[in-house]
Amino acid sequence: MSEYAIELNKITKTFLNGAIIANQDVDLKVKKGTIHALVGENGAGKSTLMSILFGLYQPTSGTIKVNGKEVVVSNPIKANKLGIGMVHQHFKLVDVSTVWENIALGVESTKFGILLDKNKIKAKLTEIMNQYNLHVDLDAKIENISVGMQQRVEILKILYRDAEILVFDEPTAVLTPQQIDGLLQVMLNLQKAGKTIIFISHKMEEIKRVANTATVIRRGKKIIDLDVKNMEVSDIAEAMVGRKLVEVKNQYTPVLSQAPILEILNLSVPKETNNKVNALETFNLVVRPGEIVAIAGVEGNGQKELVEAITGLVKAHSGAILFKDLNLISENIHKRYKLGMSHIPEDRHKYGMLLDFSVQDNLISQQIDNYPFSKKGIIDKKAIARYSQSIIKDFDVRGSRNGIAIARGLSGGNQQKVVVGRELRKEHDLLVVVQPTRGLDVGAIEYIHQQILEEKSNGKGVLLVSYELNEVMALADRIVVINEGKIIGELPGQGAKKEQIGALMAGGDQTKGVTKNEYIQ
């Protein structure tokens, strides 16, 4: 019996007849019963490597061993039979179906080979949920549950199929800090039960908390195996990007003007799931030029509805949204963009990209009718190419093939770079940004943070919504904490402590552990 659950030997994967090399001679050995992290920059080839293990791609060359036996993983069904399950970065769920229907899809228990045995399916799922502390409402529809619960459904899908080797592809990229803590504990519970886990992540603190070993992949090649317990977080990050990282921090210079560029007055916005209940109630907020205002709070307390009302994705019940002294409450999205608003959305697939269009098309989609991209209805392809390639270069969008690659084919992190690059480079005076570094590696995060701080220095107003408290504290001039759709406290970014923000987020005493003068500017 082999001590390794997985052995990948000299795996190479190329696309477009060898024009793109995603993996080159990669060796990976994963010991049974361990949590093995796979780390690297966006587009380094991590997800491609795991897609080969799961049978979504076939290697150009190289071999795979599972539990010491050489195998050919021809498709995901074969991977499931070998005991391999994968939780994908972008969930593979049917929104209009229930939780239990999604989990059992394709491996349904039946009576007499004809009738669906709902009770048997639910009984097995209840047993699994109790064993691993992975509880979720089995009768709820996917479209009505939180992202964190959808993550649990994906995990239950592979446990229901009796997987012993679990691949998690950036599982915490779309989760809040509280949900992340829960997921990491689930992973440790799975390890205690004897499961083997491969964990793709860009978050060094998470890797340090749960992983035994980390393999660094850089530009498709294996660089080194690291003993995580004997490494500092900064050492893992440096190995990943190949250089020392620079801490990016707001310098807290005075705002350029006291006159607001964005003013929210008595705004009431209905909940997405219930139009009769308000997610925001008489909400007020001001953002000034040269200021970064961060919204902090546990997910589901009105942040989503606030951003969607400001950017025109939903209609508010009442109140005013003043941008450059014009009330936008009834204006369409196009008008808001024309006035100088940029929006980096939380869900890049749903609101940020045309996935079946090219990277170049995505970068100029909002400006195609503007000079220099077109004149008198005639499109200037050379101007479009120059503009697109400058963004691709500045934001290091890998796999774009100078902009002609289809957006769907990029890694999640590189898709995020396309959206961020487009919104930062187009003409604007206000940037509304939600989770700007979601799915990005530490090197890309450093660059994006620098760009957001440059927005401030250039006199732009920035409204930032982030569930990453480190990000909020690094960037914000003011931190506004909301709970149940209302502002319950405000802190200056300079000197803010996690304990203060956390106490407010929980609806507690905002002065806990500090004096009044420490949190009121």
Do 63 and 148 reside in the same domain of the chain?
A: yes
Instruction: Give the distance, in angstroms, between the CA of residue 75 and the centroid of all CA atoms in the same chain.
Output: 27
Q: What is the pLDDT of residue 300?
A: 82
Do 213 and 299 reside in the same domain of the chain?
A: no
Note the pLDDT tens digit of each residue in 162-192: 999 999 998 887 777 777 888 899 899 999 9
Do 307 and 443 reside in the same domain of the chain?
A: yes
Note the pLDDT tens digit of each residue in 259-289: 999 999 999 999 876 777 889 989 999 999 9
Do 268 and 143 reside in the same domain of the chain?
A: no
Q: CA angle, corner 495, sides to 489 and 497, nearest 5?
A: 60
Instruction: Give the distance, in angstroms, between the CA of residue 245 and the centroid of all CA atoms in the same chain.
Output: 21
Q: Is position 293 within any domain?
A: yes
| Residue 35: φ, ψ to 5° | -105, 115
Q: Is position 8 within any domain?
A: yes
Q: Is position 314 within any domain?
A: yes
What count of other Cβ atoms lies within 10 Å of the Cβ of residue 15? 15
Do 213 and 320 reside in the same domain of the chain?
A: no
Q: What is the pLDDT of residue 422?
A: 97
Domain boundaries, position 104: 4-241
Cα gap 322→328, rounded to integer Å: 6
Tokens for 323, please give them: 């941008």
Do 174 and 266 reside in the same domain of the chain?
A: no
Do 50 and 134 reside in the same domain of the chain?
A: yes
Cα gap 77→514, rounded to integer Å: 56
Whether 462 contacts 287, CB under 8 Å: yes
Q: Which ranges of the chain have pLDDT less than 70?
A: 273, 508-521
Q: What is the pLDDT of residue 19?
A: 83
Do 107 and 199 reside in the same domain of the chain?
A: yes
Q: Is position 418 within any domain?
A: no
Alpha carbons within 13 angstroms on the beta-carbon side of residue 410 total 35
Do 60 and 111 reside in the same domain of the chain?
A: yes
Scan for tokens 């047993």, then name that residue. 127
Whether 266 contacts 320, CB under 8 Å: yes
Q: Is position 351 within any domain?
A: no
Do 52 and 151 reside in the same domain of the chain?
A: yes
Q: Is position 350 within any domain?
A: no
* CATH code at position 90: 3.40.50.300
Q: Of 188, 208, 241, which residue sits at a domain end?
A: 241
Whether 254 contacts 83, CB under 8 Å: no
State the total domains in the chain: 2
Q: What is the pLDDT of residue 17?
A: 86
- Provide the whole-model pTM: 0.80
Q: What is the pLDDT of residue 505?
A: 83
Q: Is position 57 within any domain?
A: yes
Q: Of 177, 210, 241, which residue sits at a domain end?
A: 241
C-alpha distances in Å from residue 29, one per residue of 180, 190, 224, 260: 26, 19, 12, 56
Cα gap 477→365, rounded to integer Å: 32
Do 312 and 453 reside in the same domain of the chain?
A: yes
Do 83 and 153 reside in the same domain of the chain?
A: yes
Whether 224 contacts 213, CB under 8 Å: no
Q: Is position 445 within any domain?
A: yes
Q: Of 192, 208, 241, which residue sits at a domain end?
A: 241
